Amino acid sequence: MESDWEIEIGGAAPVIDASWAGFEDLRLFPQRANALPETQQLPGLGEALVRLNADASPVWTSKCDVWQLEEWDADELGAPFGSALDGVACYIDLLPRQDEHWDDVARVAAWCKALCAAIRGVSLRSCRLDLVIRRALISKDGQNRLGVTAYLSACGPDRDSASEALQAALGAFASSIAARPSAANEASKLQ
């Protein structure tokens, strides 16, 4: 599976807002993920959200969305020639568990690099993960922390095939995160 990461924390870059009006705290009841409108469009997203918000997960989620792709590069998705006729994508905003804050860009970058390396070892075609480190407003205290927006995209010869590829990518993504230590532990391995 293809993957990459980047940092967007300056100027007018988007900010992850965990206090937005429609926020549903899935840490309390992860199974509620299956009732979200986005998961009705893509059931594999619900399964991933349940896993990402489970007690054992090093992260929790604050927002997600699903959409049809209008443009994409089949090569960047590792798609076989002629099979990239329809595309679908989603994003998930990820934040660290409450007992940890992501304040250090280097730590979060190390976590993203390790996650991308793990994802590249997954044998899936026609899909991709892009991680973007962003500023995050986690509480109403106004403190800026860091979070990660995960963009997953997939393509296929038709919409159903693209959705199946994306759901497989979401499963691999959730499994890879479950196997990863927290960003603090990831950074300490690199030292």
pLDDT digits (tens, 9 = 90+) for 9-34: 988 999 999 888 889 999 999 999 99
**Higher pLDDT pick, 4 / 84:** 4
Neighbours of 62 (CB within 10 A): 24
| Confidence grade of residue 119 (pLDDT, cut at 50, 70, 90) | very high
Rg of the chain over all Cα atoms, to the nearest angstrom: 16
Q: Is 3 helix (H, G, I), strand (E, B) or coil?
A: strand
Exposure of 57 in the CB half-sphere (CA atoms within 13 A): 23
The structure tokens listed for 35 are: 């009732």
Residue position matching structure tokens 């679908």:
88
The structure tokens listed for 161 are: 């095939």
pLDDT digits (tens, 9 = 90+) for 132-166: 999 998 876 666 789 999 999 999 999 999 999 99
**Higher pLDDT pick, 77 / 139:** 77
Position 167 pLDDT exceeds 60: yes
Cα 113 to the center of its chain, rounded Å: 14
pTM: predicted TM-score of the whole model, two decimal places:
0.91
Q: What is the pLDDT of residue 76?
A: 84
Residue position matching structure tokens 């993960």:
129
Neighbours of 68 (CB within 10 A): 12
Mean predicted confidence (pLDDT) in 111-117: 96
Q: What is the mean pLDDT of the chain?
A: 89
Q: Where are the domains of the chain?
A: 2-190
Q: What is the pLDDT of residue 190?
A: 46
Mean predicted confidence (pLDDT) in 2-15: 94
Q: What is the pLDDT of residue 8?
A: 97
Q: What percent of the chain has pLDDT over 90?
A: 71
Phi, psi dihedrals of residue 66, rounded to the nearest 5°: -135, 140
* Rounded alpha-carbon distances, angstroms, from residue 113 to 53, 124, 131, 140: 21, 19, 9, 30
Mean predicted confidence (pLDDT) in 96-107: 83
Q: Are 64 and 91 in contact (CB under 8 A)?
A: yes
